[in-house]
Structure formats: C-alpha cells, structure tokens
Structure 1
C-alpha cells in the first residue's frame, strides 16, 4: 500500500515522533511518500533527520513553474474537482484568523500535492497537525478523491479552534488520529457528535533507541535537564524564576536546556538578570543520541509547560528511567502519575515548581530509581511505536479497502481471510474488534 505523509515542516528536531512513525509503518509493509512544504532552513543535527531530508519532496523548493503546470493539469483533467476544492478554500476563509490569501496559497500547494499523489499512485494521504497541513490534505482529497486522515496533537489546534475550520476538516476526513484522550475530548467540543466515531486513539511512540536502553542506576545529585522548543508555551521563564528561588536558598543544581527557538535571546537575557549563568546552560538542539545521554546524566527532566498535547520528551525521559517534574495539564496526567513517576504541579506556579524541584533534588537516590522504573513501565505499556504503528497501518489498509472498487474489495477480503494481518489483531487488543471501532474515547482506555 502507498501512503503519502504530508507535514508542513519535515524533518525537524521537534518532530522525531513523525519519523519514528514513518519508519515503523514501512516495517509494516506501508510504502510512504514523504512530502513537506519547505526544507533546508531548519537546523538538523541528527543523522536520521539528515537522511530523511534526502528522502522528502518539498513543495516550496523555488520551482514556481510547477504550480502553473499543476493548475493547468487540474483544469484540463479534473475541472469539477478543482472547482469543488476552490469553493472549499474560499469556505475556509470565512472565520479564519489568517489572511484570506493564505488559503489560496494552501490551494496552490494542494495542486502540487495532488499531482504527486496521482503520479505516485497514492492510496491514502495522512497529515500531521490539524492546522494548515490538514487543510492542504483536505483540498488535495477534494481534487483527487484519495482519502485522507490527520493526527491532532495540540496545543496549536486548541488555541483558536473556531478559526481553523476543524469541523470541515473532520467532515471530509476518513478518520482522525488523536494522541491522547484529552486531545480527543477537545476535538469533541468543536465537531458534531455523529463525527466522534472518526476519532481514533493512536499514541506517539518510542522506538528501540529509547525502549531497549537499559536505564543507568547511577543518579546524579544536582543535574537537571529540560528539552523542547524555546517558545512561550513551554514555561521556561517560570522555570528560571523557580531556579532563582532555589539559588537564593543555597540549593545546588545545574540545568541543561536542550532546544532552540524564538525565545532564546530573551532566555539568555533573563538568565543574566537572575544571576544564573553558572547554573543554567543553553546548548541548542542535539541529536537523538545526545538527548539520550543528557537525560541519562540528569537526575530528572523538568518541563513546566503552559500548554501541550502530550510531550514526547516526557516519554523519552521515563523510558530512560528518569522521573519528571512537569505540569498538570492536557494529556500529561494520562502518562505521568504524581509522586509515582514524577511530580505534577499547577502550570505557572513558581513556588510549587520550586518546591517540586527541591523535593526531587532532596529525594533519596533509591526513590529516584523507583520512580524512574514506574515511569518506564508506563511508557512500555502505552508508547511503544511497534503496536501504535500496527494500529495505524490497519486503519490505512481498512480505509483503502473501503475506498477500492467492489471487485478489488472482494479480492482483498479473500486475501485477508487466507492470511489475517497482525495489524487487525492489534486493534482487537486495544479494545476495537475492527478498524471502524471508536477507540479514542472508551472510558478508562487511556489511564492504564
């Protein structure tokens, strides 16, 4: 089966979960065409990301002529479908928070994507994130008839959902993946109840690079780490204030800040203002191997986010046997159990964050190891990329069968009867007897 993965920015240091998903899908026999809007401007340090860049096709690569060629081809061969997609693009303008011309740009991008999808004999389109990428996938579907789906992560989809056209994107989609029960619940606020059946729980997963690593029993006394994009939603400013409180109290610590982003210069300035130059180090993006080493050398990972979906870095830290100090928001409590595998604090509370970090630094090493083991167990149960990719592959194949002509459908059913797929079994294990089963919102499913 041939699937097109469309991601606005791919590969990217903060999108390793997409790469893991694609790689595991290919191990499940799914051929993946990688398409992204742009490339070349992102700082890539991981060898796997550099390899993925060479395998990805970019729509915005400086070749303007291909947009005209794609438009001419659509006008000649699919005029009615083009008119339908154009009407949908204008419909997305009505309540959008983005300038109207951007939606015409999405239509132009969808024209190029549609041409590649047809040339590559793609049977399904999957987009990550419910923002502009999902709109491009939807418009491509309207022009080609190729089914599409998308994965909603948050928090961007939750900030201004009424302006993203989520009801239209879900209406035209074959199904929608949500990474946590919380994510699914937020979508339910904005789409009709009869569309809830389309929501499928497919968690972000870790691969053997994290799951097969034996956690170090050596626990550092005062070293902490935080990993993530340097943006307002991650709560770095609150973290610096909490650390300044501990520094004034004479508590020894060393924080390594992994990541980069628009807040870097402000963070550097704030570190100087608070006198934390000796305790806080900004190191930029790291490769996967370097991130694993930084987490393994730390006592705990700290992530005081204001808004999230469910951060993959929390899974990575717990998989490596390190507890986390994080906030009680979004899908985080579905993974992190307070005082069992980490500390949960209210978002934005400097005092409670400082107190939790102090508890972590003062805790006996045996407790840190016990909490790390409990967290690793939860990650192994919930966030192994192997069963998650099998679930997604089963959804893709079921949709391809449903969209196939009747004769092809009968032949496919016969092949499955002779050799049942492991991917279908994985759905049964997850509480769904077949790919159409709603698995995202079953009570108690997420909290294992």
Structure 2
C-alpha cells in the first residue's frame, strides 16, 4: 500500500530551499506519494528548471487571497462544530505571547480549513511541515480539525531564537514526531520538551543527491579564490567577511572572494566593499542557479561561511561533496561536519582577526595538503548526508503509527 504524505511549506519552491525539493524527490523514489502544499511562492523568481517543475505540482493556499479562505472556514465549522471550536481555542492560545498577534493565528486556522479537504481528496495519511514556525502551526491546526497526524522539521536558527513565542513546545507536544537536522538541533529541542517526550525527536540530516556525489575529482584551483554562498543577511556574517578580506589583502596575500547570493543586505555589503577599496578583490553574483553555484565552488580553493547563527548549512555539505574544504564557525551543527585541521578550518563566530587568519592559512596551504583535506571532506559528507539514506529514515517514520514513533 502506497504511503501518502502531504508536505506543508511556507514558500515552495524557493531558491534557498533546494534541500526540501531533494527530500521530496528522494521520498518519491522510495515509493511515497508526496502532496505538495505551500502557503505562498506561486510567483517568486526561480532559476532552476527543477523548481519550475515543482511549482506546477504545488497547490497554493493563499493564491486567491484571504477572502478565499472564508468559505472553507465556514464549511469546517458547519461540518464539525466541536472540532472547529477546539481548533479555534488552540489558535487563540497560540496567539498569546506570540511573536505575531492573534489575527495571524486565526488566518493560520483558516488556512488549515482550506487544506483539510485537499488532504482528504488526496488520501494523505500524514502531514509533514518544514520549519517550526507557521507551517508547523498550520499542520497542528489541520490535525486539531480532524486531519492526519503531523510532524515537522526544525532547522534553526530562527526557531531557537524564540521558541516560546512561536509555540514550539506546544507544537512538539502534539506532533507524532519532530525532526532535527543535527545533534545540536536535537539538544535545543530537548530544552523545550519534557523528558518523557524526548524520544519523539529524530535526527534526519538534510541530504545531497547524485548530482553532487558523482562529480569527478578536480584539481585544486591555482587561483587564490574563496567563495561564500548564501543569502546576504545579518546571520551569515558577510560584512565580517569583507572586513577579513581587507585584512588578508593588507597583509599582502593574494585573494579573490566571490559572494554568491543576494538578499536584504546586498547594498550595505557592496558599500563596504567600495569603502575598503576591494572592488578588484570581491565579486557579488546575485542569485544564481544550482549549476552555477556548483561551478563557483569548483573554481574556489574553499568555501568560507562566517555565520553568526545557523542550523547546519546545506551549502557546506555541497562544497564538501565537491571536494572543497570549508572555513566556518563553531556554531550549531557546523562542527559536527567540519573538523578543524582535517577537512577545513573553524574559528570563533564574530572574530574578524581569526577569520582572516583562517583564510590566509587556506590560501597558503600546499596543494598536496589541500588535496588530502578535500578527499576527507568528500568522504565525511557522503557518509553522513546521502539524501536517499536520510529519506529512508523519514519513510520508516511516516509508515509507523503515531503512538509507536516515540518508542
């Protein structure tokens, strides 16, 4: 019998969320029928052909506006007044001491009312949400309305910044199980759950597909190039990276730095590049496709990611699979994958001098040593982050009755 699962995501597909697409596709390769549901994302800019295909397979809750939620909400109230009232009270409780006021939570209830008939029509037996924010709340409210059991994946760092204000303890208590993407993430969930419920927390890593596994080994680039891949935002630390790049160049070390990505801080980052006279040394690409990201990583000696807060960045996995060492911070799940001196360099978050030192160490490491580090990076990530291996863990969880998942 085919396992039918619905995925609820706030925005899908999305350039920075290719790991969700890979997970869904891996589940389908293992025989799971996945119903894709997104709150929004029907008109966002996409660069990957795979994402365009995924958009055509996704149903969007808010595509017809808020008023389109009214009829499903009234229908749910009429069909099962007791369940609707219970769900309404739950939404009201979630709105107390929340980061968003009560009207948002009533909209989440209305979204759940719209989704419930879609699940029944598709015969989905389980709902899985990505991120412990509003997608997890919508999945919880669907369950309260009489829908299937639910689970959700917590990525961080946002969920760990404000667990009480997004109702993470309540969402976890009601869930069949909760997925953490690293041991660090599991530990943070433990902080907000009773000991009796710790067995609900399952570690399922984000994974890589064969497009990364099967890339043949390529020689370490001769150019003194480093690449940083990610949204240009405060938590990724690109301003710190620009400051470190200035120190490296001032020390007379040759450097080419590529910032692959875009985001709300692009203007500020580019202004700092200009102010420090680094235009000849630093290039900002804007959003690029997965294939272009792969090319930028392969053209660099190493990936550098000076993050202040993280879960476990997928781009680190991708770089290591492509046999490129990593320079990053002692933050969250990163040290579980990057081992200092073996497959990369780690430094304290926020320490610009330590970052500059790590960058110089990478740029001046002999080619034979870099080759050995690259091979270790490849071996480690493939042993821990194969998407089909990780998806198989989810298949097993989706197939078990909710009452036994925590056992």
Which residue in the other structure is 2:328 paired with?
326
Deviation at 1:168, TM superposition (A): 0.7
2:93 to 88, 91, 94: 91
Which residue in the other structure is 2:355 paired with?
353
Offset from partner CA, 1:171-207 (integer Å, 9 cap, x none): 1100001100100100111111111110011000000
Which residue in the other structure is 2:193 paired with?
191
1:308 to 297, 310, 321: 310
- CA contact 1:219–1:365 (8 Å) conserved in 2: no
Q: How many residues align?
A: 405
Which residue in the other structure is 1:440 paired with?
none
| Mapped pair 1:205 → 2:214 | no
Which residue in the other structure is 2:300 paired with?
298
CA distance in 2, matches of 1:33, 1:382: 27
Structure 1 window deviating more from structure 2 (282-291 vs 234-243): it is: 282-291
**Which TM-score applies when normalising by structure 1?**
0.88
Q: Which runs of 5+ in 2 are unaligned?
A: none
- CA contact 2:220–2:301 (8 Å) conserved in 1: no
Which residue in the other structure is 1:150 paired with?
152
CA distance in 2, matches of 1:88, 1:64: 20
- CA contact 1:118–1:144 (8 Å) conserved in 2: no
- CA contact 2:87–2:109 (8 Å) conserved in 1: yes
Matching of residues 237-316 of structure 1 within 5 Å: 237-316=239-318
Which residue in the other structure is 1:68 paired with?
70
Deviation at 1:248, TM superposition (A): 1.5
CA distance in 1, matches of 2:352, 2:139: 41
- CA contact 1:74–1:82 (8 Å) conserved in 2: yes
- CA contact 2:12–2:55 (8 Å) conserved in 1: yes
1:137 to 128, 136, 139: 139
Offset from partner CA, 1:379-420 (integer Å, 9 cap, x none): 111000011001101100113xx58xxxxxxxxxxxxxxxxx
CA distance in 2, matches of 1:230, 1:157: 20
In the TM superposition, structure 1's runs of 4+ consecutive aligned residues that sit over 3 Å from their partners are: 63-66, 434-437
| Mapped pair 1:362 → 2:354 | no
CA distance in 1, matches of 2:391, 2:112: 26
Q: Which runs of 5+ in 1 are unaligned?
A: 404-433, 438-448
- CA contact 2:42–2:60 (8 Å) conserved in 1: no
Question: 1:220 aligns to what SS in structure 2?
Answer: coil
Which residue in the other structure is 1:44 paired with?
46
Deviation at 1:61, TM superposition (A): 0.6
CA distance in 2, matches of 1:93, 1:78: 23
CA distance in 2, matches of 1:328, 1:204: 19
Which residue in the other structure is 1:164 paired with?
166
Question: 1:277 aligns to what SS in structure 2?
Answer: coil
Structure 1 window deviating more from structure 2 (292-301 vs 75-84): it is: 75-84
Deviation at 1:63, TM superposition (A): 4.4
Structure 1 window deviating more from structure 2 (223-232 vs 249-258): it is: 249-258
- CA contact 2:163–2:169 (8 Å) conserved in 1: no
2:337 to 335, 339, 343: 335
Which residue in the other structure is 1:54 paired with?
56
CA distance in 2, matches of 1:322, 1:335: 13
Question: 2:258 aligns to what SS in structure 1?
Answer: strand
Which residue in the other structure is 1:79 paired with?
81
Which residue in the other structure is 2:176 paired with?
174
| Mapped pair 1:113 → 2:111 | no
Which residue in the other structure is 1:386 paired with?
388
- CA contact 2:131–2:152 (8 Å) conserved in 1: yes
Deviation at 1:241, TM superposition (A): 0.4
Deviation at 1:105, TM superposition (A): 1.5
Offset from partner CA, 1:265-297 (integer Å, 9 cap, x none): 111111111111111111111111111111011
CA distance in 2, matches of 1:133, 1:56: 15
1:4 to 3, 6, 12: 6
Matching of residues 11-26 of structure 1 within 5 Å: 11-26=13-28
CA distance in 1, matches of 2:66, 2:314: 36
Relative to 1, partners in 2 of residues 1:335 and 1:223: Cα closer, same or farther, differing over 3 Å? same
Structure 1 window deviating more from structure 2 (298-307 vs 282-291): it is: 282-291
Deviation at 1:72, TM superposition (A): 2.3
- CA contact 2:231–2:262 (8 Å) conserved in 1: yes
Question: 2:83 aligns to what SS in structure 1?
Answer: helix
Question: 2:242 aligns to what SS in structure 1?
Answer: helix
Deviation at 1:227, TM superposition (A): 0.5
- CA contact 1:204–1:388 (8 Å) conserved in 2: yes
CA distance in 2, matches of 1:144, 1:120: 15
CA distance in 2, matches of 1:72, 1:246: 63
Offset from partner CA, 1:26-71 (integer Å, 9 cap, x none): 0111101101111244221011111111111111112445312211
Deviation at 1:231, TM superposition (A): 0.8
